[in-house]
Amino acid sequence: MSAVFFFGGLFVIFGVYFRRSFPDQFRITLGIVLILWGIYRYVITVTKAKQDDDQ
C-alpha cells in the first residue's frame, strides 16, 4: 500500500492525474501529502516487522 500512495503522489505531482481539474498548488500539495503518507506507512511497516522479529 505504501508504494501505491508514493507513486500515486508522484503521478499527481507530474500531472498524470488531475492535470486540468485542480490548480497547480493544490495538485502539488496533494502529491506531497500522498508521498509523505506512503513513506510513513513504509517506515511503520518495517519498524513493526523488526519489532515482531525481535520478540
The answer to whether the beta carbons of residues 3 and 41 sit under 8 Å apart is no
* CA proximity to 39, closest of 4, 6, 7: 6
Domain coordinates of the chain in residue numbers? 2-54
pLDDT at 42: 96
CA–CA separation, 38 vs 30, rounded Å?
Answer: 12
pLDDT at 19: 77
* CA proximity to 15, closest of 4, 5, 26, 2: 26
pTM of the model: 0.85
pLDDT digits (tens, 9 = 90+) for 14-33: 988 877 778 889 999 999 99
pLDDT at 20: 78
